[in-house]
Amino acid sequence: MRLARLGLVLTLFVTLAVSGWMSPAAAGLVNPKPVDPVIELLPPRPAPHVPYTGTICPDGSPSCIEATISEMQQRLNVLAPACDHDAVFSLAYLRVTENVRDAVNSGYFRDRVWLGQLDAVFAHDYFTALDTWNNGDAAAKASIPLAWQIALKAADDKAVSGLGNFMLAMNAHINRDFSYALAEVGLTGADGVSHKSDHNAYNRRLDSLYEPVFAEEAARFDKRFDDIDVSTLEETAAGVIMRGWREMVWRNAEKLALAKTPRQRSQAEHSIEAYSAAQARTLRRMFTAGPKLRAEREAWCADHHG
């Protein structure tokens, strides 16, 4: 079993178990596919159609995804040669977005316009956090979500392993940002059909990404990303657990979208912020890298980042 990715699975397992979103039965599954019918049976809460009125990709054109991929590639082209620790998530996010583009173009999703809008808004949140951290003063940095502050400071300080950078950024972007993006773009189409089926459908696309993305991270940035290979058990376990995270994200988006009072909205926001920050603190401790590992990683990246 690949040791680094086993760490990913165990970390995801712990976070889901602690948060109460994984049952003991689900934790014992080794194949994500049996989970899909269960998720499909969890109906979305009725939510009215609220037209998306944002200025980011208002028409949901496929060109929006292409523009996002182009910007991601440009950013990676700067981060990778510098062996910037933010390059780890930058690479992973680029590969995921390329996969989303391919899925949209193949007709995989029911509502490609909604997917285009969601993809653009979601990526914009990431770009904003990264740019504010890198270009802003202390006050500006303090304004970004705490989960992102912890992730980006760990990258600046070179304080965690490559897998730690990945996990911290993934936590900030999924557990913090994703619910807000979903609520902003809308949970229900103009025809009254929930977008949750499209949200769930991408789980199966993610299954195909764990192996190649982690292998590329190891080859380019941190060889300990992917040390030992015996089986694919960790990929299927990660698939099960990621489904739990994405289900939680959807439910948090429902709380945001369906809040009837400012207090309800504030409670939903507080829950998202507190959970993502707590996970960030845990991940920061779990993936701390000592001087030897940091030096080894820097040397490897200098020779292999291309």
User: By C-alpha distance, which of 93, 158, 88 is closest to 127?
Assistant: 93
Summarised one tens digit per residue, pLDDT across range 152-206 is 999 999 999 999 999 899 999 999 999 999 999 999 999 999 999 999 989 888 8
Task: Please give the Cα distance from 147 to 145 (Å, whole number).
Answer: 5
Task: Please give the Cα distance from 43 to 2 (Å, whole number).
Answer: 35
Summarised one tens digit per residue, pLDDT across range 276-303 is 999 999 999 999 999 999 999 999 999 9
Task: Indicate the helix (H) or strand (E) that contains 97.
Answer: helix 87-105
pLDDT at 10 over 90: no
Question: CA-based Rg of the chain, rounded to a whole angstrom?
Answer: 19
Q: How many Å separate Cα 36 from the centre of its chain? A: 19
Percent of the chain with pLDDT over 70: 82
CA distances from 158 to 162, 288, 289 (A): 9, 9, 8
For residue 153, how many other CB atoms are within 10 A of its CB? 15
pLDDT band at 233 (very low <50, low <70, confident <90, very high): low
Model confidence, pTM? 0.87
Mean pLDDT of the chain: 87
pLDDT at 11 over 70: no
**Average pLDDT score over residue span 68-76:** 98
Percent of the chain with pLDDT over 90: 73
Tokens of 77: 């082209």
Secondary structure tally for the chain: helices H, strands E: 15, 0
User: By C-alpha distance, which of 246, 187, 252 is closest to 47?
Assistant: 187
Q: What angle do CA 16, 188, 62 make, to 5 degrees?
A: 90
Lowest mean pLDDT among 84-93, 211-220, 225-234: 225-234
Summarised one tens digit per residue, pLDDT across range 25-47 is 444 444 556 666 667 767 899 99
Query: Per residue in 197-217, is it b (16+ CB within 10 Å) or e — as a string?
Result: ebbbbbbeebbeebbebbeeb
